[in-house]
Amino acid sequence: MNLRPVGIIGTGKYVPEKVLTNADLEKIVETSDEWIVSRTGIRERHIAAPEEATSDLAYQAALKALDSAGLAPEDLELIIVATVTPDTFFPSTACILQDKLGAKKAAAFDLSAACSGFVYSLATANNFIGSGMYNNALVIGADTLSRITDYNDRNTCVLFGDGAGAVVLGPVPEGRGFKSFDLGAEGAGGNLLKLEAGGSRLPSSEDTVKEGKHYIYMNGREVFKFAVRVMGAATDEVLRKAGLAKEDIDLFVPHQANIRIIQSAMQRLNLPEEKCVINVDKYANTSAASIPLALVEAAEEGRIQEGDKVLLVGFGGGLTWGASTLVW
């Protein structure tokens, strides 16, 4: 149990300027706008410029979140960056970001849980602040999936985009903030969604590059089945932990991977579309950035009011899942 309630006190987001539409992809691989939209709901995605890395996306989102929270970088005590596309293996993207921001007091580390990474990071920061170890934390989901996407593979290249979403966590009044978390993993399914080469198991070599093993591999059919199953189970569990019913939810913020998975979750929750944040059409799957981009966009559009009960649910490589409830 937290010693004090913790919530979101600032938000910010950033997406690169370049937009890659379905029409653009039709010129690269054998696909069509109709095929992509009908199966995924995606119409376009943002792509980082050649000089932009994950820390650059995170930096822009961080500035907005800090401004929103009324905090200066030197006030920060903790930085967590959720990503599977770090600038480098080490130093961590969080340390690179700490230096860019000038957040000299902040501890900093990356967290790797793929598309579930943002919720994992929220849970981690919540515990640090709730225990009193820190008074605030900057939590960012940021990924540049375009760097690990094979644009000759029509099954995966239509799915992914780049972006960053950031929140600042801090103490909030009683009755507000995070109410429950449910995190989990199914490591036996790790081979269904992976980046095979570049680590200690299969170091980078001429052969791994030739064989395309530095690109995302995904068994779409099996990941889809996993997603539908765990989105429902995690939702039930996180609501149970918070003592909430499905009808209590004011806003549902799911991982933006595929419109069909989101619709399946909405049906299970019996939620109307106006209570669900859907922006997969504009950004595609941005991995760890997906949930914060959707959450921040909803906040910016005035779709979240003080006291609203918000449900976050994601799933991703690992295989992993994460869900949270909070009172805004």
Calpha distance 168→158 (Å, rounded): 32
pLDDT of residue 3: 81
The first and second tokens of residue 193, run together, are 């969604």
Question: Tokens 């994460």 map to which residue?
Answer: 322
CATH 3.40.47.10 corresponds to the domain 178-327: yes
Report in angstroms the alpha-carbon separations of 58 from 65, 167, 219.
10, 11, 29
Among 45, 142, 19, CA closest to 85: 142
Calpha distance 223→226 (Å, rounded): 5
pLDDT of residue 2: 53
β-strand pairing of 78-82 with 107-111: parallel
Count CA within 13 A, CB hemisphere, residue 107: 9
Q: What is the DSSP letter of 62?
A: H
Calpha distance 78→56 (Å, rounded): 18
**Which residue numbers are catalytic?**
115, 255, 285
Report in angstroms the alpha-carbon separations of 20 from 23, 142, 151, 157, 159.
8, 18, 12, 11, 11
Surface-to-core class of residue 82, CB atoms within 10 Å of its CB (0-12 exposed, 13-18 middle, 19+ buried) = buried
β-strand pairing of 216-218 with 193-195: antiparallel
- Examine domains 6-173 and 178-327 and report if their fold is the same: yes
Contact 312, 291 (CB under 8 A): yes
pLDDT averaged per 10 residues, the chain (length 328)? 87 98 96 96 98 98 98 98 98 98 98 98 98 98 98 96 98 98 98 97 98 97 96 96 97 97 94 96 98 98 97 98 98
Q: What angle do CA 105, 174, 235 make, to 5 degrees?
A: 90
Calpha distance 119→131 (Å, rounded): 18
Q: Name the residue ranges covered by the structural domains of the chain.
A: 6-173, 178-327
- pLDDT tens track for 294-314: 999 999 999 999 999 999 999
Contact 277, 251 (CB under 8 A): yes
| Fold topology of 6-173 | Peroxisomal Thiolase; Chain A, domain 1 (3.40.47)
Q: What angle do CA 296, 79, 18 make, to 5 degrees?
A: 50
